[in-house]
Structure 1
Amino acid sequence: MPENDRLDGCLDEINLDFVEREATPRLLMKLSIQLHLSGLSLSNTVSFLEIFGVDRVRSTVHNWVHKADLQPESGRSPNHVAVDETVIQLDDEHYWLYAAVDPDSNDLLHTSLEPTRNNMIADQFFAELREKHEIDEAIILIDGAHSLHRACRKHGLDFRYERHGNRNSVERVFREVKRRTTCFSSCFSNAEAETADEWLRSFAFAWNQLI
C-alpha cells in the first residue's frame, strides 16, 4: 500500500468527537496528532501549526493526542507473537513495559505499562492479549523470563524460547520507544503512569499505520 494511502487511512481513524469548540481546523488537528505520534516533538508540532497561522502551545497538542484515545485495532490472528518486557523511566521511577508484536507484519498487538514485573502481571498481560486477538493457535516467541514462560503454560499457549530471529521485531519497537522518550522527554516528564500508558497505546496505533 502506498505510504500516502496509509497516512490517509490513519487520519480517517483519528476520532475528534471530543472536540466541542476548538478553533483549529480538524484536518490540522489530525495531522498534528499523527505527526507527533510518528516522531515529531511537541515543540516541532507546534511550529508546524504556526506555518498555517495557528498558534497553540505544547500542552494543547498533548491533550489532543490523549483525548483522541487511539489504540491498536483488535481481532488479529497472527501465526507468531513476539512478547517481551523492558524498563521505561518516568521521571525518577522505573516501570515495566510489556509488549506483544506480530513479527510477520511488525505490528504492535498490545502494550501494558506496569509498576513492576511478576507472575501475576505476566498472566494478566496474556489474558488481555487473548481477549484482543486470536492467539491460541499462534507460537509465542519469548526470551528467558520465567514469568512469561509460566504465563504461557497457564494459558495453554505454544511458546518457543528465542533470543534473536523473529524476536527482533519487538526489540525494534522497544528501541523506538526508548529513542522517543530520550529525545522527547516531555512525553513522560512529570507524567502519571496512566498518562504514559495511554501515550504508548496511541504510539502503537501510529506505529501500525506507518511501518
Structure 2
Amino acid sequence: MKTKNFLTSAFFALTVMISSEALAQNDSSASELAKQKTVTVGGAPMYPSKNIVENAVNSKDHTTLVAAVKAADLVETLQSKGPFTVFAPTNEAFANLPKGTVETLLKPENKKLLQTILTYHVVAGKMSAADIATAIKKGNGKATLKTVSGGTLTAWTKGSEVYLTDENGNSAKVTIADVNQSNGVIHVIDAVVTPKS
C-alpha cells in the first residue's frame, strides 16, 4: 500500500513539475512576443519573429489573401526561409476586382493562374520602404521590381506615398509599410496588381 501511495505522490509531483515548466515556457514565449516591436494590421499585431503566413492569418483585412494562398498551395513557400517582400492586397482590394473574379480564381482548375497572380505580388529578398525609396531615387523617380512570377512592378512616389504600377497600367498604393516578418517583410497595398496576360 505504501508503494502505491509513494508512486501516486511521485506521479503527482512529476505532473505538477511538467505543468509548471510548460506554463513557464508559455509565459516566457508570451513575454518574448510582448517585447517585440509590432505593427498592427487588420486589428492584430504582426510579430517580427513569426513568418509571413503565421502573421497574415491573424489579420482580419487579409482573409481573402490567406484563402488564395492556401488555394494556390503557396503556404509552404511563404513559410520557408525566404526572405520575401510581399505586397499584400487587403480584402477590400480583392472585393474591388470585377464581380466573380475571386471565386473564379479560387477554383482548382485555375490554380496555375492564381499562383501567377499571387507570386506577382512577391519580390525575392527583403526590401524595406527605405530600400524601395532608394531604388526609386536611383531610377530617377521609378524603380523596376522583378517579381517571383517573372513579371515586373514599377515603384514610384507621389508626395510621400509609394505606389506600384503593374504591367497593365493599374496602380496600387502602399498603405502600411515595413511589417517585418522572420522571413521577410510585408507592405500592405490597396489594390490587386496583375501581370500582363
**Fold shared per TM-score above 0.5:** no
**Larger radius of gyration between Structure 1 and Structure 2:** 2
TM-score interval, smaller chain: under 0.3
Question: Which of the pair has the greater relative contact order for Cα pairs under 8 Å at 6+ separation?
Answer: 1
